[in-house]
Structure 1
């Protein structure tokens, strides 16, 4: 299928597909006229790429860990890749740290506004 249809079915833009190809994540066959031509089974590869990228890991990580992600019945399973699980846990910790920092800032702003209202 051509890039426009593949992008629509995969929920990404044609530009994103070109970027994934340039990054070595997803390679399309070329027609005799040079158009990209994708196979139906590449939709699953695209979905696995999106899972990794949506988790906050970059294209280099997606290349490294693409075989670790399995999609079944709408669920995502990560297997055979302790390094990927370690990176995901590190991201979760960063998110928790950032949330705590945001909460501290909210409390500081609330105290500041309360002090300003008293004046």
Structure 2
């Protein structure tokens, strides 16, 4: 099949397929006149890549799965290297879950404090206290959630 048909069947673009080819993940065979040609095994490789990306794997993390399929295994996760990627991803996800739980706990605590304040001072309008925010969540946790990696800046601003 040609590149357009493969892209359509896989629900992606020809540009994406060319990019995967440039990264060595989806090599194309060429016809006599230079057109890319693919077969069902290429569609299977592409579906494996797309599924893993949907699960949050970056493109390089898909490589062991692709290599496993290319080696003739019935599934991309049938090889030790693929299993190692799964293990690393689970560790990464566990860390993210822990971080999210911590943020959730802080938000719940801030909500409880804000509700207690509102109950203790029912006549106080939120606009009257706008200069003094009730929420004192650390900037470091919020920035971590947004993906900021600049530790020096984080430490300076969190004080």
TM-score of the alignment, normalized to the shorter chain, above 0.5: yes
Which position in structure 2 is the counterpart of 1:5? 5
Distance 1:52 1:80 in 2: 16
Query: Please, what is the CA RMSD of the aligned residues?
Result: 2.8
With 31-40 and 9-18 compared, the bigger mean Cα shift is at: 31-40
Q: Which has the larger radius of gyration?
A: 2
Q: Is the 8 A contact 2:2 2:37 kept in 1?
A: yes
With 108-117 and 30-39 compared, the bigger mean Cα shift is at: 108-117
Q: 1:10 to 1:105 in 2, by over 3 A?
A: farther
TM score, norm. by length of structure 1:
0.72
Which position in structure 2 is the counterpart of 1:32? 32
The structure in which a higher percent of residues are strand is 1
Gapped regions of structure 1 (runs ≥ 5)? none
Task: Spell out structure 1 runs of 4+ moving beyond 4 A.
Answer: 68-71, 76-79
Equivalent residue of 2:40, what SS? Answer: coil
> How many residues align structurally?
115
Q: 1:21 to 1:116 in 2, by over 3 A?
A: farther
Which position in structure 2 is the counterpart of 1:44? 44
Q: 1:64 to 1:102 in 2, by over 3 A?
A: same
The Cα shift of 1:94 comes to 2.6
